[in-house]
A and B are shown apart, each in its own frame.
Chain A
Amino acid sequence: MNPLVPQVATILAIREDTPDVRTFTVRPDGEDFPPYRPGQCAMLSLFGVGEAMISITSTWAPETALEFSVKRAGRVTSALHQAEPGHKVGVRGPYGNSFPVDQWVGHDLLFVGGGIGLAPLRSVINHCLGRRAEFGRVDIVYGARSPRDLCFRQELFESWPKVPGASVQVTVDAADAEWEGPVALVPPFLEQLKPDAAGTFAVTCGPPVMIRYTLQALTRLGFPDDRVFTTLELKMQCGVGKCGRCSIGPKYVCIDGPVFSAAELKSLPAEY
């Protein structure tokens, strides 16, 4: 079977999360999508437009549909935002490694997200909360450009804060008239919160510049590099380690990543 040929799938539902983020519920028309792990991605495509690698934001369970939260950025994602329920898309995957969740069992977890970077984190957060008893505290720090750019509001403000031993801190870069919460960029906000690094695993995802400063902040907060994880996004074409596009040194983000520890990242050239 040619790994570049997708399954034809149907968009079952579309939720408008922010002015430029929509969450698509998608199910293949034929065989079920293979089981996937938190942090993995899939190539989502529109026939006649092209493909984009999107992180799977749902958490796998038998016979459940896939969810992709897609920010409108380029050609493919803009076209996806024009799609309607019932439209056909192509989907292939799952691709990439995943968050080493089993390594985290028995530890506190800190998730730091920015903007649409919460999409891959949502999958692993829900996965960990589904195995609640296996972890210590679960602290979630999230920021977006403005209140209306906050993704996954239902989870951020309703379901996650209600989980015992979990906390959610939300900040925005710039407030609007109704916002009464903190106003700060994520990295300094995180440093103000002073999370306890002892025995904690930190996981971060967001825009490239936010990831860079968050990794620095985590280092200052005392997190060792092998306990900090991030998930990278680079331009991809094949998703299966052939086309060369997403290589960082000897690694391919699509098959060796997208999840890397800060220690692994430091061993790679700064080409991401």
Chain B
Amino acid sequence: MTDRQAALRDIAAGLLGGGQFATFIGFRAGLDPSRPVPHFVRDASGAGALVINPFCGAGLARHVLEALEDGPVGILTRGCDGLGLERLIADGRVARERLHIVAVACRGAVDPARARAILGRIPERAEVDAQAVTLIAGEERRSVPRDSCLLSRCLNCVDPSPRLADSWLDEPLPAGVRDFKAVSHMEQQPPEARYAFWARQFRRCIRCYACRNVCPACSCRSCSLDDPELQERATSLADQFGFQFTRAYHVAGRCVACGECQRACPMSIPLSLLNEKFLKDIRDSFGIADPHRPSAVEPLACYRPDDPESWRGDAR
């Protein structure tokens, strides 16, 4: 057992044993070793089931919303989870003092489907460093480039460690700067090519709303998508564009670029690319270097009296 995993179990057991915390959110083993699942430990004796390994892929932040209904929550937190928690706190959905954040540095999570395709069988373990991923099954060890088998949501990550923490399992890794390479590439395509690309992507949307339900920025108590008036699901490609744009606009300016929407999408629609476009525009229009990190000044969430455009949009 790794040191981090042992420390995690100790902290979780301590928090739950102290009686103040109702739930500890982490991961435990799934049906196969490459697919751990989010786990909700409810008492100290259950902490031994917690695992940390490079297959822990799901985002955990959104789960605190429901867990907090039972009382304060301890949560294993990587950089992406941390930004999600910051989002929920900034949006007034979660009180910081009801969380105990157990921070861990993350170098990326392995996509179990890609790993299995590479190895030809289910990997039992993996090691991830800054250069490569090593997949291990039985006696076999195979090192492959990071971008061949990490989750797509991890490939552009510049936040390996959370900014908020109550305990650390290891040393934080330094944050980076987003380069928006994929968005820049898309922006250079002619409009017809961009339309054809998105039409192909959106056409296969099944409206399962996994993208909404995993998103730490999409946490409204009641969502207009559940309104029976709006039940018309995907009757045309135009409807699909309408839904996808509405979703993207609703999180624009609050998206933390965790990429959970894209990971959760069962139809592999590159939702992050749409979100990144908003982030890049916010960076370029408002001069904010890291627009995915919640901050005191969020350009799309505030209004200044000296704004060059008036509130109603009529030119001054």
Answer whether A and B touch in the complex at a CB cut-off of 8 Å. Answer: yes
**B residues 217-237 with Cβ under 8 Å of A?**
228-229
> Is A75 positioned at the interface, with any CB of B under 8 Å from its CB?
yes
Taking the nearest CB of chain B, how far is it from the CB of A243, in angstroms?
A: 13
Minimal Cβ-Cβ distance residue in B for A75: B228
Q: Which residues of B contact A50 (CB under 8 A)?
A: 228
Q: Give the CA-CA distance A75 to B229 in the complex, in Å.
A: 9
Minimal Cβ-Cβ distance residue in A for B227: A75
Minimal Cβ-Cβ distance residue in A for B229: A75
Minimal Cβ-Cβ distance residue in A for B228: A75
Taking the nearest CB of chain B, how far is it from the CB of A4, in angstroms?
A: 16
Q: Which residues of A contact B229 (CB under 8 A)?
A: 75
Taking the nearest CB of chain A, how far is it from the CB of B68, in angstroms?
A: 28
**A residues 70-84 with Cβ under 8 Å of B?**
75
Q: Give the CA-CA distance A75 to B228 in the complex, in Å.
A: 9
Taking the nearest CB of chain A, how far is it from the CB of B230, in angstroms?
A: 12
**B residues 200-254 with Cβ under 8 Å of A?**
228-229
Q: Give the CA-CA distance A61 to B229 in the complex, in Å.
A: 37
User: Binary interface profile of A, 52-76, with partner B (CB < 8 Å = 1, else 0)?
Assistant: 0000000000000000000000010
Taking the nearest CB of chain A, how far is it from the CB of B222, in angstroms?
A: 16
**B residues 77-99 with Cβ under 8 Å of A?**
none
**B residues 55-95 with Cβ under 8 Å of A?**
none
User: Binary interface profile of A, 35-50, with partner B (CB < 8 Å = 1, else 0)?
Assistant: 0000000000000001
Taking the nearest CB of chain A, how far is it from the CB of B91, in angstroms?
A: 30
Taking the nearest CB of chain B, how far is it from the CB of A235, in angstroms?
A: 10
Q: Give the CA-CA distance A181 to B228 in the complex, in Å.
A: 41
Q: Give the CA-CA distance A150 to B82 in the complex, in Å.
A: 57
Minimal Cβ-Cβ distance residue in B for A74: B228
Taking the nearest CB of chain A, how far is it from the CB of B124, in angstroms?
A: 40
Q: Give the CA-CA distance A50 to B229 in the complex, in Å.
A: 10
**B residues 269-308 with Cβ under 8 Å of A?**
none
Q: Which residues of A contact B228 (CB under 8 A)?
A: 50, 75
Q: Which residues of B contact A75 (CB under 8 A)?
A: 228-229
**A residues 5-39 with Cβ under 8 Å of B?**
none
Q: Give the CA-CA distance A50 to B228 in the complex, in Å.
A: 10
Q: Give the CA-CA distance A243 to B288 in the complex, in Å.
A: 50
Q: Give the CA-CA distance A149 to B229 in the complex, in Å.
A: 29
Taking the nearest CB of chain B, how far is it from the CB of A117, in angstroms?
A: 24
Taking the nearest CB of chain A, how far is it from the CB of B233, in angstroms?
A: 13
Taking the nearest CB of chain B, how far is it from the CB of A254, in angstroms?
A: 19
User: Binary interface profile of B, 94-132, with partner A (CB < 8 Å = 1, else 0)?
Assistant: 000000000000000000000000000000000000000
Q: Give the CA-CA distance A50 to B232 in the complex, in Å.
A: 12
Q: Give the CA-CA distance A74 to B229 in the complex, in Å.
A: 11
Minimal Cβ-Cβ distance residue in B for A76: B228
**B residues 162-185 with Cβ under 8 Å of A?**
none
Taking the nearest CB of chain B, how far is it from the CB of A26, in angstroms?
A: 23
3 CB contacts below 8 A, A to B, read: A50-B228, A75-B228, A75-B229
Which B residues lie at the A interface, using CB under 8 A?
Answer: 228-229
Which A residues lie at the B interface, using CB under 8 A?
Answer: 50, 75
Closest 3 CB pairs of A and B: A75-B228, A75-B229, A50-B228
